[in-house]
Structure 1
């Protein structure tokens, strides 16, 4: 197959990571894959070029511009592509505009990668989504997002499919980390410092446990900590104030953007992920692959990813008491049980989170689109949905 992938830029984001892995794997299988971007940020460029993927860069000059759609339209005319796959709302929009009215065009597949708790999207995202009925197919990387589109448009599996993320399990692996007696648990948080990541919940929960039980943690936050928007400056100040109020400033470290994620997992006991906007979280998947238990909000597809007491714990979203209880349970877990949880996490990743499985499912979808057959997934690679006991508030004793 001759394929064109479309995304805004090649920065170090989760969507960019997934599209890169998929493109390189499909080239390895004998397909031709080109990639179109419209911002000159090139974190994954070398990996893509080394994997045989051609990159077409169009530099978008203004924030609001149709120039990427015009350039894509020329690509569609000249490239003889069979399928175009776009990731994220704005690239999805440009892809659909570029294809509008063309007599000969590729099949258009758009993919959504994140969604807020409660399903209330912003005005801009909601406006862009109004174009999605013109796509040949929609993929999401999480079931809760697929259900949103089913309800909104009345679509079935013939129009919208969930395909979970995939990881390079050779890269994302880590040896067990044994906790020494009396050593504070080392907690890893991955994501930029903004309100949607909800790092303040960890500060408040850690403060409660420090006051009630004398519990101590070492927390590392990995991701951009350079505010750009006004609310990001405000949130950073609020987070620092919470740390100061609970006397936690010396136990938190902001590491900035990093590329050595597997090494960071190797140096920490667990991932804590309170985010309130997600698709299928890459960092949760990476933690499982590296054999590290996960504490995450009981939302999105986390009930399928995380089994309470086996690969981590879930807590009620945005609930400090519930998060504190999950952290308390983690802190009281014996080292041998933590090791067993890590082994369970790695086994889950090997069964459900491989790049080969990701490529299998996209390859099958593209082939069904081109053959004119039904495009619903032949099989659902994710485990069945199960109810999960949410962590309760900690006892004061």
Structure 2
């Protein structure tokens, strides 16, 4: 019997965010006849018992290491490093695959100390700008340069992200490869509930237009700019609604902003939702106002639902949104430009229909979960043969 390839997956937070979903899908869907998957995370949030058990059931071992946290805490970080190193030495993994920045620093260092043959890191969008101040950002770049030296492959969500690393001197070009975060396209193409029923449940009138957002409510997603853009939309009868699916640290601040701008009755904070495909199909356009975005997985989800997209031109977003065809690209931090783009779509049914059809056509099998898993298998196999 052929020996299975032992893979350890390391991430700080296991939740409903894009990076965690990506890691969980790989854990669940890599061929179990070829791979023995192990999983370590710093915490588990937002998932229900069924979702946790699905991941646990797909893994040979599933472990929560509370010392592995996103915040920089030198003492705890060293303790996490030693804990991971001991575990890796004991289990003798063939591959360690880390996900996101902090797990990448600690996990890759531990893997090299434990002499793991293959070390892979998925960035899930870098944190070189949009997250921290200048000093902390410089320290992160310096740490990434060191970590790159002990990594066999760095996987980025888009080519633009690779270029950002290279401009800052992080690694050589042959270290990097694009590995997108796959979307269950069929799930987003077909809603579980009729549009009319979903809108009625949300309190959106049948003849009112709706704009959807699906995002964490944190500073880098800049949902405040989306609320400001929405408040600039005038002259619609009935007036449109903004549907925000997501939660986070800025929720109270954003709710206050909506009140201050006089649009709180039409900005609906829906919290974390597991029916995002239904929310998208109940909407007429999709808005993304991030200051930094590795890929824009939420954009692929929206396009799979046939929505025109207005998005900030950051990171890998321009690889998805074709300006003037599937939607509009606007500068980050410019609510007026976002409002103008939304207004063009909402006021022109022919343009909206054309963009909807172009969005559906632009979504390909290469963006699917199956393609993501298949490519991970190819990358692992190639690295093990070196």
| TM > 0.5 | yes
Instruction: Show the 5 A alignment for 1:1-397.
Output: 1-28=5-32, 30-41=34-45, 43=47, 44-52=51-59, 54-60=61-67, 64=73, 65=76, 66-102=78-114, 104-115=115-126, 122=133, 123=136, 125-132=140-147, 133-153=149-169, 155-174=171-190, 183-210=207-234, 216-225=239-248, 227=249, 232=250, 236-237=252-253, 239-240=254-255, 242-334=257-349, 338-372=352-386
Q: CA–CA distance in 2 between the matches of 1:52 and 1:218?
A: 42
Q: CA–CA distance in 2 between the matches of 1:14 and 1:326?
A: 26
- Residue segments in structure 1 that go unaligned for 5+ positions in a row: 373-397
Aligned-partner SS, 1:113: coil
CA pair 119-155 structure 1, distance change in 2 beyond 3 A: farther
Aligned-partner SS, 1:172: helix
Aligned-partner SS, 2:265: helix
**Superposition CA RMSD, Å:** 3.0
Q: TM-score, normalised by structure 2?
A: 0.83
Distance apart, 1:25 and its partner CA: 2.0
CA pair 24-325 structure 1, distance change in 2 beyond 3 A: same
Q: Deviations over 1:56-113 (max 9, x none)?
A: 22232986312332222123222232111100111111112213444x4231112212
CA pair 181-81 structure 1, distance change in 2 beyond 3 A: closer
Alpha-carbon contact 1:274-1:317 (below 8 Å) kept: yes
Which residue in 2 is equivalent to 1:387?
none
Distance apart, 1:270 and its partner CA: 2.0
Tell me whether 86-95 or 166-175 shows the greater mean CA deviation. 166-175
Alpha-carbon contact 1:23-1:53 (below 8 Å) kept: no
Tell me whether 73-82 or 15-24 shows the greater mean CA deviation. 73-82
Q: TM-score, normalised by structure 1?
A: 0.81
What is the number of residues matched between the two proteins? 361
Aligned-partner SS, 1:153: coil
Q: CA–CA distance in 1 between the matches of 2:230 and 2:184?
A: 33
Q: CA–CA distance in 2 between the matches of 1:29 and 1:215?
A: 56
Aligned-partner SS, 2:141: helix
CA pair 264-78 structure 1, distance change in 2 beyond 3 A: same
Q: CA–CA distance in 2 between the matches of 1:312 and 1:342?
A: 8
Distance apart, 1:337 and its partner CA: 5.1
Tell me whether 158-167 or 360-369 shows the greater mean CA deviation. 360-369
Aligned-partner SS, 1:3: strand
* Bigger RCO of structures 1 and 2 (CA < 8 A, at least 6 apart): 1
Q: Deviations over 1:2-57 (max 9, x none)?
A: 21111113111110011111222213563221111122447242232344563122
CA pair 223-367 structure 1, distance change in 2 beyond 3 A: same
Aligned-partner SS, 2:121: strand
Distance apart, 1:245 and its partner CA: 4.4
Distance apart, 1:272 and its partner CA: 0.6
